[in-house]
């Protein structure tokens, strides 16, 4: 899926570039008259107004058409159709405007933009519609220059050459464009395949890191405590009991219920819980089903805010118990709350406290999450942290 999108994107870029080049060709193609005039060449077509009308229409249209193509980088069907209609009209009109014995070469003035149009149809409409359009343009050219045919071989040869050029340019433009776009898609697909391989490797790496985190956690905590006890040279003291309780709390929050693997978030929360327990704050963890993959900045913000909320409980709530719950909200968000049954505070009076607003509210907001602090004097405090739903991270 990603490959297809990347491929389309790449070939779309190539097409934009081609469209812009077509626009520039059109600008250049209306220059012969003004340049010739600037060089001092004077000419008097037999039907001056008709010739001027033909040129004016053509030049004006080239500016409109080319301007839009440059700006948007695209040639929609209606613009192409209009372009062909204008060009065909000009071919007929300026041909008639220059109908003198010697006018055929100058009448060719309308042929140059016609070549540009033929190129565009090859690029954008290849193949059936492009060839049909080229034939139509050639036919109009022939109609416009038909009155000159009586002047003989030079005109007829020129006309045949121009008709073949119109058709030839269309074919060449079409074939080359198709080839270019095909290559762009191949390159994009290859790049996407490489990227996906790299992502896969990164995911493998992350899983390995996750296992290492868990391993380190167990090693640094539970195992070392168990080893200390197993060596047999410690008294069962209040301190040892507290440490064992801390290990149990950490393990409990890590195991998180129904045998789901501990995500980095849960492992980090377990460390926070253990740290608090070792300092004397027992944290009861209830961990529900959580998404497997959170962006690292979400984990960092949630864990940091949790730590701060628990610090606040330890410092200000006047209790040695707190509850940590983590689960998925109904809208797919991750909801973590830290609740105590301690003193609480009146939000009107204390306004959340500096620690609360800086370390929790600002931290969550900066990372892209939200937080809510609910407290009242004597009813404990509830800090709720939210990280928006899955699809926003995918």
Partner 1 sequence: MAPVIGLGVIDDDQMLLDGMAAWLRQVPDLRVLRTARTVSGFLRDSPAAGAGPQVVLLDLNLRDHSAPADNVARLRAEGYRVLMVSAIAESEHVLATIEAGAAGYITKDHDLSALADAARQVAGGAPAITPELAFILSQDRRLARPRLSPQEQAVLGAYARGSTLQAAAQRAGVAYGTARAYLERVKNKYSEAGRPARTKLELAERLREDRIGLDAPGDWE
Would you tell me which residues interact with partner 1 (CB under 8 A)?
245, 248-249, 252, 255, 257-259, 282, 284, 286, 288-289, 322-325, 327, 329-331, 335, 337, 339-341, 374, 376, 379-380, 382, 384
Quote the least distance from Cβ 301 to partner 1, whole Å. 20
Nearer to partner 1 by C-beta: 52 or 248? 248
Closer CB to partner 1, residue 306 or residue 324?
A: 324
Closest to partner 1 by CB, 6 or 324: 324
CA distances (Å), 333 to each of 194, 336, 387, 389, in order? 32, 10, 5, 4
Phi, psi of 287, deg, nearest 5: -110, 120
24 to 3, 67, 272, 377, 384: CA distances (angstroms): 32, 9, 64, 74, 59
CB nearer partner 1, residue 220 or residue 379: 379
Dihedral sign for Cα atoms in the order 170, 117, 139, 94:
negative
Q: How far is the CB of 285 from partner 1 (least distance, A)?
A: 9
Question: What is the smallest separation between the CB atom of 221 and partner 1, expressed in angstroms?
Answer: 15
How buried is 231 (Cβ within 10 angstroms: 0-12 exposed, 13-18 middle, 19+ buried)? Answer: exposed
Q: How far is the CB of 227 from partner 1 (least distance, A)?
A: 19
- Asked whether 30 and 23 are in contact (CB, 8 A), the reply is no
Q: Is the Cβ of residue 8 or residue 328 nearer to partner 1 in the bound state?
A: 328
CB 357 → partner 1: shortest distance, Å?
21
Peptide bond into 127 cis (omega under 30): yes
d(CA 132, CA 121): 9
Instruction: With H, G, I as helix, E, B as strand and everything else as coil, classify residue 371.
Output: strand
Q: What CA–CA distances, in Å, run from 222 to 135, 150, 234?
A: 84, 105, 16
The smaller minimum CB distance to partner 1, of residues 56 and 257, is found at 257
**Nearest-approach distance from CB 214 to partner 1, in angstroms:** 16
The number of angstroms, rounded, from the C-alpha of 307 to the middle of its chain's C-alpha atoms is: 35
Q: Which residue has the tokens 């996906």?
A: 196
Q: Which is nearer to partner 1, 83 or 308 (by Cβ)?
A: 308
Read off φ and ψ for residue 339, nearest 5 degrees: -125, 140
Provide, rounded to whole angstroms, the least separation between the CB of residue 207 and partner 1. Answer: 24
């Amino acid at each position: 899926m990603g490959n297809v999108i990347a491929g389309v994107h790449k070939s779309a870029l190539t097409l934009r570039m081609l469209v812009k080049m077509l626009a520039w060709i059109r600008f250049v193609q209306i220059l012969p008259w003004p340049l010739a005039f600037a060089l001092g060449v004077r000419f008097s077509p037999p039907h001056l107004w008709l010739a001027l009308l033909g040129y004016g229409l053509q030049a004006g249209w080239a500016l409109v058409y080319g301007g839009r193509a440059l700006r948007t980088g695209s040639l929609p069907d209606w613009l192409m159709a209009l372009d062909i209609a204008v060009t065909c009209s000009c071919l007929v009109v300026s041909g008639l405007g220059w109908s003198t014995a010697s006018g055929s070469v100058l009448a060719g003035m309308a042929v140059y933009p016609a070549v540009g149009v033929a190129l565009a149809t090859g690029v954008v409409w290849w193949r059936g519609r492009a060839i049909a359009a080229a034939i139509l343009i050639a036919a109009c050219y022939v109609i416009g220059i038909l009155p000159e045919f009586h002047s003989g071989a030079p005109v007829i040869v020129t006309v045949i050459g121009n008709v073949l050029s119109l058709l030839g340019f269309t074919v060449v433009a079409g074939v080359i464009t198709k080839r270019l776009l095909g290559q762009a898609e191949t390159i994009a697909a290859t790049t996407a395949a490489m990227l996906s391989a790299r992502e896969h490797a990164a995911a493998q790496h992350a899983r390995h890191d996750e296992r290492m985190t868990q391993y380190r956690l167990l090693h640094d905590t539970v195992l070392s405590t168990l080893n200390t006890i197993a060596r047999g040279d410690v008294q069962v003291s209040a301190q040892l009991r507290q440490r064992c309780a801390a290990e149990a709390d950490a393990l409990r929050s890590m195991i998180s219920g129904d045998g789901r693997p501990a995500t980095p978030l849960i492992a980090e929360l377990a460390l926070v819980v253990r740290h608090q327990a070792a300092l004397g704050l027992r944290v009861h963890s209830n961990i529900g089903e959580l998404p497997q993959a959170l962006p690292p900045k979400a984990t960092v913000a949630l864990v940091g805010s949790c730590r701060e909320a628990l610090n606040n409980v330890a410092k200000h709530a006047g209790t040695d118990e707190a509850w940590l719950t983590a689960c998925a909200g109904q809208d797919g968000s991750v909801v973590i709350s830290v609740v105590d049954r301690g003193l609480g505070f009146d939000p009107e009076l204390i306004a959340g406290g500096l620690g609360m607003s800086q370390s929790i509210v600002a931290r969550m907001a900066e990372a892209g999450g939200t937080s809510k602090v609910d407290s009242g004097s004597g009813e404990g405090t509830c800090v709720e942290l939210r990280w928006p739903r899955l699809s926003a991270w995918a």
